[in-house]
């Protein structure tokens, strides 16, 4: 079996500037996800990976976001090492055409050499990114960065067309990710061939949901 079975993956991340800074929040969310039948958790930072792995038995995709680089998701081996040593079963790597500090093939090679049991999720933004990374044989390709690069800026997400195209064309399983917020979108992604679907913000950033309600109430107050 692959490192992750087919199904729903919950992305549970906290970043600087978020109103919650508590690792317990990430762990509780991960527990809720597992209880409800999610097959894996995606999270950022070694401290979150470690806390989840210590509390429950579920595959974790780890990443580190470093905004000093344009290719900001786990841009170097050092970033990857942090989350892998914290217990991540897979590591997510920014595989866009954005400027990066290390060549992608070198980064893949070093991760595989030092951590042969850890899977690699290639986070891409468009079809060309996916085609290019295919030769490096990542375990999964995720549509995470569609809409978040200069060459996909303004594209509507979730990008179900991209999932459809990639699933048809590539031999690597596709993870649909980025902007999924309704059950209908998730159904479509599976219908179009997704191996798994990641849902994050719609579930694990509750302050954004609250803000939506608060803003709609404003004119009446
Ligand atoms: C672009 C970027 O930095 N994406 C991150 C990748 O790890 C996360 O902030 C997202 O929450 C995750 O991809 C899930 O997507 P959504 O939150 O839209 O369901």
* Span 92-117, pLDDT tens digits: 999 999 999 999 999 999 999 999 99
- Extract the tokens encoding 165: 């195209």
pLDDT digits (tens, 9 = 90+) for 40-87: 999 999 999 999 999 999 999 999 999 999 999 999 999 999 999 999
What is the predicted pLDDT for the residue at 164?
98
Residue nearest to atom 15 of ligand 1 (CA): 178
**DSSP sequence for 40-89:** EEEEESHHHHHHHHHH----EEEE-B-TTSSS-BS-SHHHHHHHHHTT-S
Rg, the chain, Cα only: 17
**Which pLDDT value is given to residue 3?**
86
With 0-12 CB in 10 A as exposed, 13-18 as middle and 19+ as buried, what is 3? middle
pLDDT digits (tens, 9 = 90+) for 121-154: 999 999 999 999 999 999 999 999 999 999 999 9
Cα–Cα distance between 60 and 83 in angstroms, integer? 10
DSSP state of 219: G
CA 220 to ligand 1 center in whole angstroms:
33
Q: Which tokens hold the place of 206?
A: 């509750």
User: Which has the closest alpha carbon to 59: 92, 82, 81?
Assistant: 92
Contact (CB, 8 A) for 125 and 146: yes
Q: For residue 218, which phi and psi values (nearest 5 degrees)? A: -50, -50
Is ligand 1 within 6 A of the CB of residue 45? Answer: no
Cβ-contact 121, 175 below 8 angstroms: yes
Which domains are present in the chain? 7-220 (3.20.20.70)
Atom of ligand 1 nearest to the CA of 42: 7
């Amino acid at each position: 079996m692959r490192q992750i079975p087919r199904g729903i993956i919950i992305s549970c991340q906290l970043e600087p500037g978020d109103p919650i800074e508590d690792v317990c929040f990430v762990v509780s969310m991960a527990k809720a996800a597992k209880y409800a039948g999610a097959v894996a958790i995606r999270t950022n930072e070694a401290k979150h990976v470690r806390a989840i792995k210590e509390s429950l038995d579920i595959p974790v995709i780890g990443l580190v976001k470093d905004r000093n680089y344009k290719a900001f998701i786990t841009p170097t081996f050092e970033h990857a090492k942090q989350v892998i040593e914290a217990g991540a079963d897979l590591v997510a790597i920014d595989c866009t055409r954005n400027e990066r500090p290390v060549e992608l093939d070198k980064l893949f090679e070093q991760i595989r050499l030092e951590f042969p049991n850890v899977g690699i999720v290639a986070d891409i933004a468009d079809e060309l990114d996916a085609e290019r990374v295919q030769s490096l044989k990542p375990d999964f390709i995720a549509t995470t960065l569609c809409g978040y690069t200069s060459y996909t800026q303004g594209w509507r997400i979730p990008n179900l067309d991209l999932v459809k195209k990639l699933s048809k064309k590539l031999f690597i399983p596709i993870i649909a990710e980025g902007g999924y917020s309704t059950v209908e979108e998730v159904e479509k992604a599976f219908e179009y061939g997704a191996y798994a679907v990641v849902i994050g913000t719609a579930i694990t950033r509750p302050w954004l949901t609250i803000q939506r309600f608060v803003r709609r109430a404003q004119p009446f107050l």
